[in-house]
Amino acid sequence: LTMAMPWSAPVPAVLIDAGYLVALAAIVWREVIAGKAWDRAPIGLVISLYACANILFHALAQKGSETDLPERMAVALMILLLTLIGGRITPSFTSDYLTERGLPDQLPSLSRYDGLTILLTVLAALSWVIQPQAMTTGWLLIAAGLASVIRLARWRGWLTWREPLVLILHVGYGWLSLALLIIGGATLGFGLKPADAVHALTTGAVGAMTFAVMTRASLGHTGRLKQADRLTVAIYLLVNLGALLRVFGSTIGLPANVLLGAAAAAWSGAYLLFAAVYGPYLIRPSLDE
């Protein structure tokens, strides 16, 4: 709120906004250390770096300097978070779903191929932060995107079409793969404009994957069946429609103000609908209490 209000004092706004990610990183590290869950340490590291990128952004903004570098750092760290967390929960929840339905659930566990995909993604993200217009960066992004597409296909998401609560995880990771490909293409000078390409990650992958986790966690932790009803499906459709309009809308020739307004209405409408539907679930006692 302090960041959104034009009349708020800049220093308190910076301290509040920067303090959030610092506090979040501290909580994550506390849990990692207390539980000796050292395999989760990369998540703590990425969130800590995200906090540093945010602090750098504010420092440069207060000086009136360009903020492109910390912005790319933040987007690159989103890519890594989605690669790490999405790559862990998507096959896990898919396997659970297939087991419940009596379908073959022998999905590939974390393998050398997953490690290669993560490594390629890390290299591509680093290159994009350091030299966003280099040819090498473009080809690294495309290589990481292709590797992510193959990784996604190995999880057999098409078998989950009857349960949107699981399918949306594959859609979110699909947006990540697409984002890597089209950001790479934009870097090499073909396909979408760089600004539109980046939105495949920020509105598409982040939007879809955020709702995938929010809805599933909200249902599970309030004692409800982990199944998507019609309103939940509407949330998924709205957030993906908003992303599609924002990323590809310019190719259909709509006026920019109409296009951006429709994209914003659909994407933000998904969050409004989530608040209306899931808000009452979250403020009442869990059904199993």
According to the 3-state scheme, what is the secondary structure of 115-159?
Answer: HHHHHHHHHHHHHHHHCCCCHHHHHHHHHHHHHHHHHHHCCCHHH
Whole-model pTM: value is 0.90
- Asked if residues 167 and 160 have their Cβ atoms less than 8 Å apart, the reply is yes
Instruction: List CB contacts of 169: < 8 A, sequence separation 6 or more.
Output: 86, 89, 90, 93, 94, 157, 209, 212
- Quick one: DSSP state of residue 189? T
Residues of 151-182 as b/e, b for ≥16 C-beta within 10 angstroms? Answer: bbeebbbebbeebbbbbbbbbbbbbbbbbbbb
- The pLDDT of residue 131 is above 90: yes
Distance CA 143, CA 73 (A): 20
167 Cβ contact list (under 8 Å, min separation 6): 157, 160, 161
* Mean pLDDT to the nearest integer, 269-275: 97
pLDDT in tens, 44-66: 999 999 999 999 999 999 899 99
pLDDT digits (tens, 9 = 90+) for 19-45: 999 999 999 999 999 999 998 898 899
Q: Is residue 106 exposed (0-12), middle (13-18) or buried (19+ Cβ within 10 Å)?
A: exposed
- Residue 10 is predicted with a pLDDT of 83
Q: State mean pLDDT over 86-90.
A: 92
